[in-house]
Amino acid sequence: EAQVTQNPRYLITVTGKKLTVTCSQNMNHEYMSWYRQDPGLGLRQIYYSMNVEVTDKGDVPEGYKVSRKEKRNFPLILESPSPNQTSLYFCASRVQGAGNTIYFGEGSWLTVV
């Protein structure tokens, strides 16, 4: 079954404690991306990757890091989480190139206290 898998799905953490949200896709997609969703703001792109070892900033990259060492995995790293990073996070993937639909993971609810 084609899917994008994120972990953890739910996490409560404390300010400053480094955390990683993993993302894996089994569709051999070149393009992967992270979004955060906040009420009234829709989905905003954090980082994206067009292929292995190729990553770039989205619209709200501050406070986040990513890496793309393998095609299937695209982890999101919060080096020093702060309360304003409390949000719902989605990983997504698609075939590289315009006009292709994007597939979302189930989402990760992150709360930073």
Contact residues: another protein, CB under 8 A = 31, 33, 35, 40-45, 48, 50, 59, 88, 90, 96-99, 101-107
**For residues 82, 43, 88 and 19, what is the CA-based torsion angle, rounded to 10 degrees?**
-50
Integer Cα distance of 83 and 81 in angstroms = 7
**Shortest distance, position 103 Cβ to another protein, whole Å:** 8
Nearer residue to another protein within complex by CB, 8 or 16:
8
Nearer residue to another protein within complex by CB, 4 or 78:
4
**Shortest distance, position 80 Cβ to another protein, whole Å:** 27
Looking at residue 73, what DSSP letter applies? Answer: B
- Residue 29, both tokens: 């997609």
